Every structure is written in structure tokens, then in C-alpha cells.
Amino acid sequence: MSAQKKEKVVIAVGSSVASHVTSVLLKKQGYQVLGVHFLTSDALGHVEAIKSEELERKLQIPIQTVDVKNLMDERIPSRTEEELISGLRPQPLAHFFHQVFFKELFKVAASAGARKVATGHGAQVFVDSESGRANLHLAVDLSMDQAIHFLGLTQEERDQLLLPFGGFTRPLLKRLSIELGLDPSGIVFKHVFPGEGAFATDDAFRKRVRARIAYDLCGPGQIHSHAGLIASHVGIHHYSPGEAFHYQAEAGEAESWVVRQVDVSQRLVLVGPEASRKVTGLELASVNVWDARAKIRTQAYELHYRNDRPGVGAWVTFYEDGSASADLPDPVNDLYPGQFVSFVRDGRIFGGGQVRRVS
């Protein structure tokens, strides 16, 4: 990739070596690089304690610090609350990227007069030779793919993206980071559900969100398996689809099951072994489709929703109200209401949406 001399690019930098590698690469390619370091709340579970001065010395680029704690508290809990009330698997990390991270990053770029925006996420951008517009693609190494974070972007925003990190494999990145004098141990992606991330296990954040839940959801209810009633609970808001559920039968060893479904109206939690679960259909909302030809038609895609395995084939039908449905010829057992999926064909992402119901 070549760059016009001194063209300005704004990049989000934090404690991850991914953003460090990306910023150094862009600087070597001739860009005028301005770093943005977001100060996040404890909700993320991995608050970055590295000061901007230390990053500036390490990367040799100017870095602007932006405090987004208040924005996170304003924009994320209400959406996670709605997901819990609706019986969905909460996705606060997805809302962080859609409602805070990219909005503030593009805002800084506009104020700085930068035409390009970069991150250290695992995704790729290719410019279409005919239209001149940018298309988003999965990372070369699917184990590092994070393209699902970009589902909320417009075409104009995608046209501004620079994502060199997604074009490398993990071994190559480790070698490159060593050559650049950076710590390769930071090239780690721990969350196999990319739209969920560390929020899902942050007890303090969950308590803050669940404290907002309507009082009538906090009463007792029942937990059922395929065999009927097995236990009771003190509040439906403590459960979401896909969470682990440890069941100790009166006679026998403890079993690790999962929450399959949450019926808020009945205060009913359905649990069972994940291996025996078969999902053949999805109902999707908050659908963002980037290819106009795909709308109001049925199209074949791969659905990508985890970065520890390939996507699954599906026929996706789009509707005028912004929703979609998907039929899966080969059933899966690890898709739950609330998760985000992306529509992929030949590595290119055509959009995505949030699962609201499975069948």
C-alpha cells in the first residue's frame, strides 16, 4: 500500500500490540499518524492504564486522549438492559463499537482534518476497481477476525478505513512485532464471541445494568429442562441464552448445561445440553446491508459469528422493515438470541444483524 506524502490518518491506540504494529506500519508507509487513546470505564474489564505520554514515547507519534467513560454509561447500559428484558444474550461490546468507539474516532478524524481512519482490528478493506468504493473483508487469519465490530459503519465511513492488521497471519504478526521492537505476547484475541467480549464476564457492569431492570422481572420463577421443572430462580434478569448452567441432580454427578431460552413473560428459564441443541432458522433485526442488490431478496451467504471456526451456510431473506430471516441447511448448536452475525461471501462482508429469535 502506498500513501500520499504526509497524508494524515487517525488511529485508535491502546495497550494492544495490534494497534502498535498498525501505527508503526502506517508511519513507515509515509502517513502522518495521529493516535487516539480512549479512556474507558471499568465495564470493559480491561481498562487501559497506559498513559498517553508512554504511548507517545513508545510509538513516536502524537496521541490525543479522549475520555469516553460518560458516553459508555449513557449509551451502553440501556441497550444491554433491553436485551436482558427481551431474553437476549447481552452484547455490550458490540454496542461499545457501534455507539461509542467509531463515532468518537471519526469525530476526532474530522476535527483533525484526517481523511483516513485506522484501527488494529482483524479485518481487511479492498477498494472495488469499478465503483471505487471500499468493501470490508474478513481477516486472513480467521482466528483473529474482528470484522463484526464494523457492521454499524456507513459506506462513507468504510471508504476512510485503513486496516493493515487483518492482512497478516498470527505467526507473521509475531515476527513483525519483534522486528519492530514490540511485545508479540499482546497478539491475543480471547473472545470467541466477538460481539460479546469482556463485558459478558464483568460482574460490576452486569450488576449496574441489572440494577436498572424493571422490578417485576426480579421475582421468582422456574428453571426447566426437557424433563420438566428442575429448580427455581430469584429473577429472570440473572439469565441470558448461551450462559453456562451447572445442574446437580439428586442422584448423579453435576452436569454443565447452557441456558437455551429465556421467556421473560413467564419468568421461565429453559436449560439443557448444548450438544443436543439444533438451530435451523433465525430471525434477525438491526440488519445493515451494504449491497443494495441483496435487499428484498433471498441470498446465499456464510454466517460468521465466532472467530474460532468457519462460517455456516444460510439462505438469508431481507425485508423492507429492516429485518431478515435465515434458513440453515446444516443445523448448529451455538447460535443464541442476541448474538450478531455477518453475511459473508468469498471473504467479503455484505452486512449483518442481530439474532432476535432462533428455531
- Average pLDDT in the 148-162 region? 92
Number of domains in the chain: 3
User: Which of the two residues, 299 and 55, has the higher pLDDT score?
Assistant: 299
pLDDT value at residue 314: 96
Q: Is residue 184 scored above 60 in pLDDT?
A: no
2 lies in some domain = no
In a domain, 204, yes or no: no
Tell me what the mean pLDDT of segment 19-36 comes to.
Answer: 90
Q: Is the pLDDT of residue 201 over 50?
A: no
pLDDT digits (tens, 9 = 90+) for 249-304: 666 677 778 888 888 778 888 888 877 778 899 999 989 888 766 656 888 999 99
164 residue type, one letter: P
Does the pLDDT at position 84 exceed 80? no
Closest CA to 194 of 308, 86, 336: 308
Type of residue numbered 9: V
* Lowest mean pLDDT segment, chosen from 31-40, 120-129, 178-187, 316-325: 178-187
* 15 and 154 together in one domain: yes
Please, which pLDDT band fits residue 204 given cuts at 50, 70 and 90?
low
pTM for this entry? 0.82
Give the number of C-alpha atoms closer than 13 A to the C-alpha of residue 51, restricted to the C-beta side: 3
208-253 confidence digits (pLDDT tens): 555 655 555 667 888 898 888 888 887 776 777 877 787 776 666 7
Residues 6+ apart with CB under 8 A from 153: 102, 136, 161
Residues 292 and 267 grouped into a single domain = no
Comparing C-alpha atoms, which of 280, 279, 356, 290 is closest to residue 324? Answer: 356
Asked whether residue 96 falls in the same domain as residue 170, the answer is yes
Q: Are residues 28 and 143 in the same domain?
A: yes
The larger pLDDT score, comparing residue 124 to residue 51, is at 124
Would you give the DSSP letter of residue 2? -
pLDDT at residue number 269: 87
Q: What percent of the chain has pLDDT over 90?
A: 29
pLDDT at 188: 41
Q: Which of 1-15, 230-244, 339-353 has the highest mean pLDDT?
A: 339-353
Higher pLDDT: 69 or 184? It is 69
User: What mean pLDDT value characterizes the chain?
Assistant: 81
Domain check: are 108 and 253 in the same one?
Answer: no
The answer to whether residues 269 and 283 belong to one domain is: no
Q: Say yes or no: 293 and 269 in one domain.
A: no
- 271, 127: one domain: no
**At 18, which CATH number?**
3.40.50.620
pLDDT at 227: 82
What's the pLDDT at 265? Answer: 79
Residue 326 is part of a domain; what is its CATH number? 2.40.30.10
276, 299, 319 - which closes a domain: 276
Task: Average the pLDDT over each of 7-21, 199-213, 253-267 and give the range with the smallest value.
Answer: 199-213
Exposed (0-12), middle (13-18) or buried (19+): which is 199, by Cβ within 10 Å? buried
In a domain, 125, yes or no: yes
Residue 203 lies in a domain: no
pLDDT tens column, 86-126: 888 878 888 888 889 999 999 999 999 999 999 989 899 99
Q: Is the pLDDT of residue 45 over 70?
A: no
* 21/131 same-domain check: yes
Domain boundary residue among 156, 172, 198? 198
Neighbouring C-beta atoms of residue 89, cutoff 10 Å: 24
Whether residues 165 and 313 fall in one domain: no
Residue 325 has pLDDT above 90, yes or no: yes
Q: Is 347 inside a domain boundary? A: yes
Contact between residue 9 and residue 34 where contact means Cβ atoms under 8 Å apart = yes
Residue identified by cell 458490540 is 94
Say if residue 174 is in the same domain as residue 58: yes
Strands (E), the chain: 8-12, 32-39, 63-67, 116-118, 123-127, 134-138, 161-162, 221-225, 228-233, 244-248, 254-263, 268-272, 279-289, 298-304, 312-318, 324-332, 340-345, 348-358
Residue 128 clears pLDDT 80, i.e. is over it: yes
Same domain, 39 and 179: yes
pLDDT for 155 equals 92
* 141 assigned to some structural domain: yes
Residue 296's pLDDT is what?
63
160 confidence band (pLDDT: 50, 70, 90): very high
Q: 354, 84, 55, 122: which is closest to 199 by C-alpha?
A: 84
Say what the pLDDT of residue 252 is: 66
Range of the domain at 314: 279-358
